[in-house]
Amino acid sequence: MAIYKLHINGRSYQADVEPDTPLLWVLRDNFGLVGTKYSCGIGACGACTVHVNGQAMRSCTLPVAAVGTQKVITIEGLSANGDHPVQKAWDEVDVAQCGYCQSGQIMTAAAFLKSNPKPTADQIDNAMHGNICRCGAYHRIKEAVKLASTKA
């Protein structure tokens, strides 16, 4: 066990955990930030996606010891009032079915659009291909990413 100081959503947090604990479980179990979801734990689905220094990362395979002073943003901190262009597009297109995968989808899309604000349809497909939606809401996810790219 060791003490880790983390910068999350513009605040500092502290946890006494083992170094190999994935960031995902520190967020969920220690800090109650449960918007970041668990589904596979092996980096294969994207449900646990957060931003680390602006990059989309899978928190389920990122040990807390590797986070250091990097700035972490979770779905709870993506915007103050749920009004990030990607969140707004998700509402407008009415994307969610069960909704479980959606915070990971949104975090993936938000980081992607930051690096590529005006993507082509193929680029959207490529960027979102790693995120599974078991409900099959892919058409609307695509549409919402496209819509968000016109808003930002």
Partner 1 sequence: MANSTSRRDFLKIAATAGGGLMLGFDWFSAKAEITSVISNAALAAGKTEFNSFLSISTDNIITIFSPNPELGQNIKTSFPMVVAEELEADWSKVNVVQAALDTKKFQRQTTGGSGAVPHSWMILRKAGATAKAMLVEAGAKRFNVPLDECMASNGFVVHSKSGNKLSFGDLAEDASRLTVPKEVKLKDRKDFKLIGTSVKNVENKNIVTGKPLFGLDFYREGMLLAMIQRPEAFGLKLKSVDAAAAKTMPGIVDVVSFKNNVAIVGKSTWQINKARKALKIEYEREGNLESSADHDKIFSELLNGNNTQVRRKEGDVEAAFKNAAKVITSEYQCPFLPHNAMEPMNFFAHVRADGVELVGPTQTPASARSAVSKLLNIPEGKITVEITRLGGGFGRRLMTDYALEAAELSNIIKAPVKVIWTREDDMAGGLYRPAVRYRFEAALDTDGNMVGYKLRGVGMNERNPTRENNFPSGAVDNLLIESAEHRTPITTAPWRAPITNFLGYAEQAFLDEVATAAKKDPVQFRLDLLNRAKTSPAGAVRYDVDRMIGVIKLAAEKSGWGTKKDVSQGFSVYFSHASYVAQVAEVVMKAGKPVVKKIYAAVDCGEVINLSGAKQQVMGGIVDGMGHAMYGNLTFKNGSPEQNNYNKYRLIRMKEIPEVEVFFVNNGISPTGLGEPALPPTGGAIANAIFKATGKRVKAQPFVLEEPFKIKAV
Candidates 78, 93, 96, 107; binder of ligand FES (CB under 6 A) is 96
35 scored as a contact of partner 1 (CB under 8 A): yes
The site partner of 48 among ligand FES, partner 1, none (C-beta below 5 to 8 Å per kind) is ligand FES
- DSSP sequence for 75-122: GGGS-SSS-SHHHHHHHHHT--SS-TTHHHHHHHHHHHHHH-SS--HH
Q: Decide: 43 and 61 in contact? Cβ < 8 Å.
A: yes
Say which residue the tokens 């490529």 belong to: 126
Across the beta sheet with 11-17, the strand order is: 11-17, 2-8, 71-73, 49-52, 55-58
Candidates 7, 13, 41, 61; binder of partner 1 (CB under 8 A) is 41
Q: Decide: 47 and 132 in contact? Cβ < 8 Å.
A: yes
Locate 10 and state its tokens.
């513009």
∠ CA 59-113-85, rounded to 5°: 95
In angstroms, give the least distance from the CB of 131 to partner 1: 7
Binding mask 16-45 for ligand FES (x = CB under 6 A): ----------------------xxxx-xxx
47 scored as a contact of ligand FES (CB under 6 A): yes
Binding site for partner 1 (CB under 8 A): 1, 17-18, 20-22, 25, 28-30, 32-42, 44-45, 47, 74-76, 78, 82, 87, 90-91, 94, 96-103, 106, 125-126, 128-142
Binding site for ligand FES (CB under 6 A): 38-41, 43-48, 58, 60, 96-102, 133-135, 137
